[in-house]
Amino acid sequence: MSKEKPLILLTNDDGYKAPGIRHLVEVARKFGDVLLVGPMKGQSGMSHAVTLHEPIRLKKISEEPGLRVYACSGTPADCVKIALNQILDVKPDLLLSGINHGSNSSVSLFYSGTVAAAVEGCMNSIPSIAFSVDNHSIDADFGLAMHYAEPVIREALKYGLPDITCLNINFPDIPKDDCKGIRVCRQTRGVWKEEFEHRVDPQGRDYYWLTGFFSNEEPNETDTDEFLIQQNYAAIVPIKVDVTDYDAISVIGEWKLDN
């Protein structure tokens, strides 16, 4: 791949064959050469996990002018790490993760392999963006995400992103023409209310399926990603690798810890 064009690294957590990432490839190729390194199988909910206790396999799937595709047996974070360490000899100009099948708004970003891949790129000083659509179906409509991915990619390549900051972008599950626009906002304060469904297998052994629902802890706030998505806007939340609570340093510093 020639560095005469921007080099764009793509990954996701739904697997390299997922429709979402294939749609993102279409958009990314308008701007430069693309390297896709995606998981061999779905890795949803893996967050920033890395593979430590078994070997990682890497398989070249295809190559054509301007596009190389690899499948990695590891997690989304593994995909980014192995792309930077074993495939590329230059740093990408941009990292794109997604388009995820399912929303990663609010606290869902902490569980998301899609967002973690963008954070991994950010940790390596690569402008990085995660895209997600609020629809888990294999047949989800990615038209809205593709529509806005194009100007987002263009502007990110032109201006870059602030140091140790990446973007988490979520789209409502609506047709492109029904979207009111795209807005920069903050992450919603919320929590997943987990429930475990108890079952018994044919051998009489207990097992559990994780279920539950998302609870918006500030439903009346209008400057959050959850509110905007419900109002048919796309939502951009800038997130930082540095998660230090600087306001709390002085508060915790008042604790009497040295006896």
In a domain, 243, yes or no: yes
Q: Mean per-residue pLDDT for 194-218?
A: 89
In a domain, 1, yes or no: no
Helix (H, G, I), strand (E, B) or coil at 90: coil
In a domain, 63, yes or no: yes
In a domain, 172, yes or no: yes
* Structural domains in the chain (count): 1
What is the 3-state composition of the chain as percent helix, strand, coil, each rounded to the nearest 5? 30, 30, 40
Q: Are strands 233-240 and 181-184 parallel, antiparallel or unpaired?
A: parallel
In a domain, 43, yes or no: yes
| Sign of the Cα pseudo-torsion (239, 76, 13, 17, in order) | positive
The pLDDT score that the predictor gives to residue 192 is: 83
Residue 163, domain extent: 7-188+220-253
Domain of 142, CATH number, reads 3.40.1210.10
The pLDDT score that the predictor gives to residue 176 is: 95
In a domain, 34, yes or no: yes
pLDDT digits (tens, 9 = 90+) for 229-246: 999 999 999 999 999 999
